[in-house]
Structure 1
Amino acid sequence: MFASLFILLYLGHLLADYPLQTDHQAAHKADCGRDGWFANLRHASTHVLTCGLALAIGSAVLDDVDLSAPVAALALAWIGASHAFIDRRWPVQWWMTHTGQTTWAANGGAAHVDQTAHVLALVLAALALVTA
């Protein structure tokens, strides 16, 4: 069941991060102030909705997906919160600065570290869903 859940969550993530993310959200989700937080939380909400829809469809059509509603709600809350945190951009920059990756960060590496952090959050959500 873990593989099915991870693939469903990853699909929801990709949909929310690429075709469903607006230019405004991408440009402003890390900005300080009300507008930045608004863009960030709208983007994170898109993740919650797309991942929730993917889980619902998977639960309806796949034999190996059996979900606990309360645990699914917690997993989706985790996905939204972790995505909002990572997308403030400073956590990725902090990580890269403190792990000796400043040259890689200056040459486009932050996007890779960002996506790796998101995938880690999805793996943790899928693990929580299978252990419930």
Structure 2
Amino acid sequence: MFAAVFILLLLGHWAADYPFQTDHQAKHKAGCGRTGWTANITHAATHVLLCGLALGLGALVLQDVSLAVLPTAGALLWVGTTHAFIDRRWPVARWMKFARQEGWAQHGGAAHVDQTAHALALGAAALFLAAV
């Protein structure tokens, strides 16, 4: 079940990060103040909604996907919270500085580290759902 749940979460994530993320959210989600936090939280909520829809559809059509409501709600809360945190951008910048990747960060590497961090968080959610 782990692989199916991970793929469903990843598809929901990609949908929320690309076709369903507004230009306003992309520009302001790391910003300070009400505008930044509103953009960040609405973007994270889009992730929760689309990942939830993907999991629900998967549970309906895939025999090996069986999800209980409370653990799934917890996993979706994890997805939204970690996504909002990572998208503040400073965690990725701080990691890249720590890992001595500042040159790569200046040449587009931050987007790859960002997506890797999101995939790791999704993997943890999928592992949790597969284990309960």
Task: Give the TM-score range, shorter chain.
Answer: over 0.9
SS in 2 for 1:30: coil
Shift of 1:107: 0.8
Whole-Å Cα distance in 2 between the matches of residues 97 and 78 of structure 1? 26
Whole-Å Cα distance in 1 between the matches of residues 50 and 73 of structure 2? 13
Shift of 1:34: 0.9
State the Cα RMSD in Å.
0.4
Q: Gaps (5+ residues) in structure 2?
A: none
Match of 1:105 in 2: 105
1:92-131 residue pairs with structure 2 within 5 A?
92-131=92-131
Whole-Å Cα distance in 1 between the matches of residues 24 and 94 of structure 2? 24
- Match of 1:105, as an amino acid? A
- Match of 1:111, as an amino acid? A
Shift of 1:53: 0.3
Match of 2:58 in 1: 58
Shift of 1:68: 1.3
Shift of 1:46: 0.2
- Match of 2:45, as an amino acid? S
Q: Does 1:28 align with 2:28?
A: yes
Whole-Å Cα distance in 1 between the matches of residues 5 and 107 of structure 2? 33
Query: May I ask how many residue pairs the two structures share in their alignment?
Result: 132
Return structure 1 stretches of 4+ with deviation > 6 angstroms. Answer: none
Identity across the alignment (%): 64
Shift of 1:95: 0.2
Q: Does 1:89 align with 2:92?
A: no
Whole-Å Cα distance in 2 between the matches of residues 66 and 112 of structure 1? 32
Shift of 1:25: 0.2
- Match of 2:79, as an amino acid? I
- Match of 1:124, as an amino acid? A
Match of 1:40 in 2: 40
Shift of 1:54: 0.4
Structure 1 length-normalised TM: 0.99
Match of 1:49 in 2: 49
Whole-Å Cα distance in 1 between the matches of residues 7 and 110 of structure 2? 23
- Match of 1:31, as an amino acid? G
